[in-house]
A and B are shown apart, each in its own frame.
Chain A
């Protein structure tokens, strides 16, 4: 399957700082990438849809000024958690569509964010 690389795999930061998470499609171009959040023993919650060259589309209840998404190229999308607080601590996962009709979705390995 297609490879999606996510970095870093884990990060610990102080409250009030910003954290950037990168998501790269290594062997294909992804016009659309998705960002998810996952709490322990729960399913994935879609945060936003990132389209290359345009503004991201955020799901209801997700603060766009808090979670900045940039999709500047066909292989890279970034999620920046601004002014992080302990309640932002979570597992963040990106994914990218691949296939002749973008029908298959492949995921990165996830980033565990811990805000102290």
Chain B
């Protein structure tokens, strides 16, 4: 079993819909939770960063962390074709330590 599980997709939604992404993990020691967006042949771009449990909102993006269930989510409201990319969750036990990535979910937003 992988440390971090993420559905590879592709997840196809119409423009304007809400995109719902999630990851599950097995290591309860994870404290830092991040979501990255990666376009093809580009480096990942940090979208959301959360420490410990709770919700965080930034523009059209909302990140949720439920440590009791070992489950994290990313929601994208009012999705645009430019949101079409691969979304990677990344978890970290402590600051300065290496990230553990999910496999990534490919998202397609159709006009």
Contact = CB atoms under 8 A, between A and B. Distances in A.
Interface in A59-116: 91, 93, 95, 97, 99, 101-110, 112
Interface in B63-111: 88, 90, 92, 95-96, 98-99, 101-104, 106
Given A42-B103, A43-B104, A109 B42 contact: yes
A43 B95 contact: no
Contacts of A112: 41
Given A42-B103, A43-B103, A102 B43 contact: no
A103 B98 CA distance: 10
Question: Interface size bucket, B side?
Answer: 20 to 34
Nearest to A2: B46
A49 B101 CA distance: 15
A107 B43 contact: yes
Contact of B46 (A32, A49, A104, A109): A104
Given A107-B44, A110-B41, A49 B88 contact: no
A107 B103 contact: no
A103 B43 contact: no
A12 interface: no
Interface in B4-51: 32, 34, 36, 41-46, 49, 51
Interface of B: 32, 34, 36, 41-46, 49, 51, 88, 90, 92, 95-96, 98-99, 101-104, 106
